[in-house]
Amino acid sequence: MLSNEKYKGDALLQKTYTVDFLSKKRIINNGEVPQYYVEESHPAIIYKEMWEAVQLELERRRAFAEKYNISKLDYASEENPFAGRVICGHCGRPYGRKVWNSMDERLRRIVWRCNKKYEVKGEKGCANKHIDDKVLYQAFINAFNALIENKDYFIDKWKLEDRDILKKYKAKQFINIIENTEILREFNLDLYYKVIEKMTVYQDNKIIVTLLDGTEVEVIIE
């Protein structure tokens, strides 16, 4: 549905064609007969610019998943918002969530570790260290607050840069967010999903938080 050009008022004719006029059987047209693209063939349901931005976003997600060998990006949840979004700055592989259990519930920890670290049993495949779940929550808070504290700089940056349709759409959304949001005191899941693409963990106590428009914010882990 999201890739259907009819929603923006255009039409691609002869996506299918009749192979048997008696049975009226139709099959998908893979180039066997000509296709025709008609612009503004009917009233649009959504703005063309928004439709084009959706196509770019779908491609961004596909390319992101392919680059980092992630099966899908939509399995993140309220309890596990970082799934598919934490990347190793040493080898480029995604981090996975691990639960370190203990008989003492107070010692139970949720950590994130590079999926390549013990990819082969008994062999250490990546030297990057694990990171506590709570550090990732704080990294987002710190990165977002850096945007708020420097809002004039970022607003000017987003207004002036020459961007594709998706990044222009995101820039407008980001400007609206930071103009109407105060400093965060705790993790905000809705804001996190609206602005964050990935969080890259490095060995030197550093996390690079990358926004959906490509803007990077460096966070130092203390």
This model's pTM is above 0.85: no
Q: For residue 54, what pLDDT is reported? A: 85
Q: For residue 72, what pLDDT is reported? A: 66
Q: For residue 18, what pLDDT is reported? A: 79
Q: For residue 1, what pLDDT is reported? A: 61
Q: For residue 53, what pLDDT is reported? A: 85
Place of tokens 């970082």: 82
Instruction: Check residue 201 and report its DSSP letter.
Output: E
Q: How high is the mean pLDDT in each 10-residue block of the chain (222 residues)?
A: 71 75 78 74 77 87 89 72 93 90 73 87 84 94 95 90 81 92 94 94 92 92 76
Tokens of 125: 């495949």
Q: For residue 74, what pLDDT is reported? A: 62
Q: For residue 189, what pLDDT is reported? A: 93
Return the CA Rg of the chain: 23
79 strand-pairing partners: none
Q: For residue 153, what pLDDT is reported? A: 93
Query: How does DSSP assign 65-85, residue by residue?
Result: HHHTT-S-STT--SS-TTTTT
Angle value at C-alpha 86, between 95 and 164, nearest 5 degrees:
140
